[in-house]
Every structure is written in C-alpha cells, then in structure tokens.
Amino acid sequence: MIRNISAWHVIIVLVVVLLLFGANRLPALAKSIGQSMKIFKNEVKDLTDDGRRDGTSSSAPETVADGSTDVPPPPPAAPPAPPRP
C-alpha cells in the first residue's frame, strides 16, 4: 500500500493539512513539535549518559553470589535529642 504513494498523493495531503490548520497556525505547530523533539532527545541522551557514568546500563542493584544485593547500608540514625528541662 505504501509503495503506491506518488508525489500527487503527498501534495494532496499537504493541501488538506494546510486547509485544516491554516497558514497562520502551521509555524507554531512546527515550532512546538521541534521543541518537543529537542526535549525528548535531551532526555534520551541524559538516560544513556547516566547508564555509562554508573558503569551499568540498568538501574537495578547487582546481586552478589550469596543472594544479597550490592547496596550500601543506610546511614545510622541521629541520636535522640536530650529532653529539655
């Protein structure tokens, strides 16, 4: 079906889009799509950079041979405050 698309089909679709959205709204529509793609690209890049920085590609903790996970213990709790007189 996609093989049968010719230049005339593309032109007709573009004319219909121009009639539906109007010439005034098309630049704003293109700008918002461009900004969305830029944000999406940056987020994907940040996710891949985080995986490389940690040395792993997943966020799940690694399992050690004894079945425990390689997660550091939580810091000790602060001692309770002395009572006020």
Residue 74, SS3 per DSSP:
coil
Structure tokens at 44: 């994907």
- Position 14 scores a pLDDT of 87
Which amino acid is present at 19?
Answer: L
Longest dimension (CA), the chain: 89
Amino acid 55: pLDDT: 57
pLDDT of residue 69: 59
Tokens at 68, concatenated = 């425990």
Q: What is the pLDDT along the chain (85 residues), one digit of tens a residue?
A: 567 878 899 999 988 888 888 878 888 888 999 999 999 999 999 988 877 766 554 555 555 556 555 666 777 777 777 887 7
Looking at residue 66, its pLDDT comes to 61
The pLDDT score that the predictor gives to residue 75 is 75
